[in-house]
Structure 1
């Protein structure tokens, strides 16, 4: 009689089933299964017995259960009702149940609760929007230890002139200290993803830079649309000139400034870039300090990016 397999595996509509549970890869459901990796993530977060921990995408609770043993409360945000049910079953009838607060739904569509530490094996498709949401969250949290796909993690820490340096790199490093603390092979997950992952530790800068973040991000969007082009070329795009002209007219109206009839937006922008020696700079090589200086120059001339 053939030996029974202890674990079933088959595909159905892009899902993988193991031990009776379907994991939907379209939702980024790659469950971290290696206990030493989980322990290392908790260690890097340096959680305390009084901490409230936010976890996004807890899955079946491999990380959740270990964190619950060490902290006051875990707020677990899960979009999949099936996995939320599995997690509830896992702590049912144990002393850990009272420490778990389960929130069902899309974490990007709700306000984040108060928490001290964020710990998560994050679904890959929400990585970028969640990082921005996290960094703009108030009150400040102490740190976040998050699992990302390898290339995304490398973008977070990329320096000027690096191939992966982008708007995400600049925004993250403006608002936080960020480091890759561990590399994790794809075979540590069930089902295994196509690429390796990295664990990143993020510590918000407190106090944050004294700037309007929406305006700052508006400037970066212009600069990084074509990060290898000069700023002079980036600011010649029609939609950029039209936006800046409209914003400038609003600024002048609010401050009782009369715009000369022969005033030309394109000439004015070129003049600002030339006089500040930015016309030949490229976003891919510029530091955070240079972007801050560029924003200051434009603002001093009445130009805004929101």
Structure 2
């Protein structure tokens, strides 16, 4: 890839170049011949060059027109989509029952929107292997009662199985970021253990973490669920409302959701 293409801050570009780390990532991804793979932000093609030709179909989504031109020259057989990943519809890339496998070194500044998009469109996604900021990775795998436990911890582990693969030094990127990165694996469940209205469940969890330093009752009293919560002082849900969001397990959040859903 042409070294003259300089990373752009507005796209959050940090190109990975260390061959040992690249190989570790590919080994973790373990591409198979029947896979349908989509790469988010291929950049200079470090991962692309290791994946192309190894799967049934390989698609790269790249927002930067400069890079698209260079990738097309280097990999003429590569299907490149010059779009913002957040604006594409994943359904349009799925073939029959073959779900997408997603890989990418994703921009730190849009990590949460990308993760929420994957949750929203997970029926078209088998799994994702993503390089994210180390602090975000810790939040993704955190357990209740810890300082890293967050909205992402609850939602990703409700809809998927998550795994922390390994920590990545800033020294393997250009330009060198000021923080460590980590590789995270997300495997979406084919079916959920709990029957929930997904949008409502997500809204409940978001509202609970709206003021994470406050008790759940105070936090939810400032949300769209305030009327329901104001009537709950003597109800069966009161044992949860005295806690903070970070102290609730996923099972507790499901219980809270069911109470709110019943009383809407």
TM over 0.5: yes
* 2:22 alignment counterpart: 38
**CA separation of 1:202/1:275 partners in 2, compared to 1, >3 Å: closer, same or farther?**
closer
- Residue 79 of structure 1: which of 63, 68, 84 is its match? 63
CA distance in 1, matches of 2:140, 2:229: 34
Work out whether 1:222 is the aligned partner of 2:200. Answer: no
- The Cα offsets for residues 177-227 of structure 1, whole Å up to 9 and x where unpaired, read as 101101110010111111110000110012124211110111112211111
- Residue 81 of structure 2: which of 103, 119, 134 is its match? 103
* 2:46 alignment counterpart: 62
Work out whether 1:169 is the aligned partner of 2:153. Answer: yes
- The Cα offsets for residues 60-113 of structure 1, whole Å up to 9 and x where unpaired, read as 111111101321221100000001111111123xxxx1xx21001111112112
* 1:261 alignment counterpart: none
State which drifts further: 66-75 or 171-180. Answer: 66-75
CA distance in 2, matches of 1:162, 1:191: 32
How does 1:62-211 map onto structure 2 within 5 Å?
A: 62-92=46-76, 97=77, 100-112=78-90, 113-114=93-94, 115-208=99-192, 209-211=194-196
CA contact (8 A) 1:235 1:269 kept: no
Larger radius of gyration: 1
Work out whether 1:212 is the aligned partner of 2:190. Answer: no
CA distance in 2, matches of 1:81, 1:103: 10
CA contact (8 A) 2:168 2:181 kept: yes
CA distance in 1, matches of 2:244, 2:61: 40
* 2:242 alignment counterpart: 280
SS at match of 2:231: helix
State which drifts further: 79-88 or 130-139. Answer: 130-139
CA contact (8 A) 2:16 2:174 kept: yes
Q: CA deviation at 1:269?
A: 3.3
* Gapped regions of structure 1 (runs ≥ 5): 1-17, 246-264
SS at match of 2:7: strand
* 1:295 alignment counterpart: 257
Work out whether 1:53 is the aligned partner of 2:15. Answer: no
**CA separation of 1:287/1:91 partners in 2, compared to 1, >3 Å: closer, same or farther?**
same
CA distance in 2, matches of 1:141, 1:286: 28
Find runs of 4+ consecutive structure 1 residues off by over 6 angstroms. Answer: none
In the alignment of these two chains, the number of paired residues is 256
SS at match of 2:162: strand
* 2:232 alignment counterpart: 269
**CA separation of 1:275/1:216 partners in 2, compared to 1, >3 Å: closer, same or farther?**
closer
SS at match of 2:42: coil
TM-score by length of 1: 0.78
TM-score by length of 2: 0.90
* Gapped regions of structure 2 (runs ≥ 5): none
